[in-house]
Amino acid sequence: MCEKKESLENKFVSLGCRLNYFESELIKSKVNKLGIDGVIVVNTCTVTKEAHKQSIQNIKKLKKENPNHKMIVTGCAVQSNKNEFESMKEVDKIIGNSDKLLDSSFTSSDRIIFNDFTKENSFLIDKIQSFENRCRAFIQIQQGCDHRCSFCIIPAVRGGSKSLAIDDIVSQIKQVVEKGHLEVVLTGVDISSWNRDVFANNDSKLGCFCKVILKEVFKLKRLRLSSMDPAILDNDIFDLLKNEERFMPHIHLSLQSMNDSVLRNMGRRHSKGFATEYIQKLKEINPNITIGADIIVGFPRESDEQFIDTCESIKELAIPLVHVFAYSERDGTKAMEIKPSVPLELRKKRSEYLRNIVEENKKNFYNNQIGRNTTILLEKNNMGYTDNYCLSTIVNGESLTHSKIYNVEIIELETDVFSNAKILKAKLKN
């Protein structure tokens, strides 16, 4: 009598950006629907050298822990250096970015399924039904980027900007809301470029589209944006921040620097002055808004004075949420040609210096939230995020229902003695 083969539970690992997480949810749904089992799918990242290195490390670790699983790798690190992954003994199958959302990529017996972006092609932007174990749903509205920032490898691994149609996006949002998700985050590589030709038209259509979403999906309680390009002003977004309580007062900007010389070397389209006025206007429109930013330190030719220029701007503008990245060389980018480079140790010191400024900004910002009446979307263990994305815990309720929005008053700031993480304490309001 033949012994029945035990099925192995699939594993899905997503590294890097929110867009990767969205795509990994699609891949998970697709693989499970196809009836495939015993696979590990790793959606890799290559935005920095460290991210690429972590992708490699994760693959090796997962295969060692799960030797009987089939290892499938995809994502931006694979797209940037297919040969590296092809040579790894841990890897059973390679799928390029252009093909990772196709059923045939996972059912095919081919070990390598890979296309580059030298030919005209488009990502298959699939529909997602819901996100497992998440209160918020990430919905992709756009893919790729038409800009050519000198430090960025992303256009080479994701291609040019492509937008999903309004009806398809609204349909997806309706579906996830019906599944119980109270918050939707619009995501993409460059969501500011959604549905527009970035070279022919500087008018952003994103804010207008957000108004359409809130009108069409009246059951949606919260709409949030992921990272935006600060080069484009959008009056509809300003209007939403001022007048629409379902539009979350939380804007994350890909600033990268606040020094004009560094911004020019980066190939960015905004100036320090433009970004400063943008942030000041956001704060004027909605005083409770949380501003986030990405900053790269130690870019080639960045002097001490130029770095301090950025630090002073971050401090003066009191930006409380900043992702600080030490510049990372990426083959195939124009920044590799810019000399002289900043020594790695100096990049690390600058990163630490700026992070300390940001921590002080965050402490002050969180303290200013005390006494504010707001809402929290509870995720687990009585913890969740306020409308303006402050991590908070509700202290006067036991076993509260997760995936539910509560009216609260912020009463105190707590700093974890071990991790230095800052968490707001809140009490329920009737």
Distance (Å) of CA 104 to CA 30, 255, 313, 345: 11, 39, 50, 46
Burial (CB count <10 Å: 0-12, 13-18, 19+), residue 67: exposed
pLDDT at 13: 92
pLDDT at 117: 56
Clarify whether residues 151 and 90 are in a common domain. no
Q: Is residue 363 part of a domain?
A: no
CATH of the domain at 15: 3.40.50.12160
Burial (CB count <10 Å: 0-12, 13-18, 19+), residue 124: middle
Clarify whether residues 105 and 141 are in a common domain. no
pLDDT at 122: 47
Compute the average pLDDT of residues 239-250.
Answer: 97
Percent over 90 (pLDDT), the chain:
66
How far is 300 from 337, CA to CA, in rounded Å? Answer: 9
Q: Is residue 397 part of a domain?
A: yes
Q: Is residue 169 part of a domain?
A: yes
Give 310-338 pLDDT, tens digit per residue. Answer: 999 999 999 999 999 999 998 889 999 99
Q: Is residue 4 part of a domain?
A: no
Q: Indicate the residue among 113, 143, 169 that finishes a domain.
A: 113
Q: CA dihedral in degrees (272, 276, 278, 284; nearest 10)?
A: 180
How far is 264 from 338, CA to CA, in rounded Å? Answer: 12
Is it the case that residue 200 has pLDDT exceeding 70? no
Clarify whether residues 108 and 15 are in a common domain. yes
pLDDT at 4: 42
Q: Indicate the residue among 78, 113, 148 that finishes a domain.
A: 113
Q: Is residue 124 part of a domain?
A: no
Clarify whether residues 66 and 159 are in a common domain. no
Clarify whether residues 210 and 138 are in a common domain. yes
Clarify whether residues 106 and 156 are in a common domain. no
Is it the case that residue 197 has pLDDT exceeding 60? no
Asked if 232 and 253 touch (Cβ cutoff 8 Å), the reply is no
Dmax (CA) for the chain in angstroms is 77
Give 285-317 pLDDT, tens digit per residue. Answer: 999 999 999 999 999 999 999 999 999 999 999
Compute the average pLDDT of residues 204-212.
Answer: 91
Give the chain's length. Answer: 430
Q: Would you place residue 408 in the very low, low, confident or very high pLDDT band (cuts 50, 70, 90)? A: very high
In this structure, the number of other CB atoms found within 10 A of the CB of residue 297 comes to: 26
Clarify whether residues 210 and 241 are in a common domain. yes
Q: Indicate the residue among 113, 146, 181 that finishes a domain.
A: 113
Number of domain units in the chain? 3
Q: Which domain holds residue 102?
A: 11-113
Give 124-174 pLDDT, tens digit per residue. Answer: 455 555 565 578 888 989 888 888 899 998 888 888 888 888 898 999 999
The SS3 call for residue 99 is: helix
Compute the average pLDDT of residues 342-353.
Answer: 97
Q: Is residue 261 part of a domain?
A: no
Give 102-131 pLDDT, tens digit per residue. Answer: 889 999 999 999 876 544 444 445 555 556
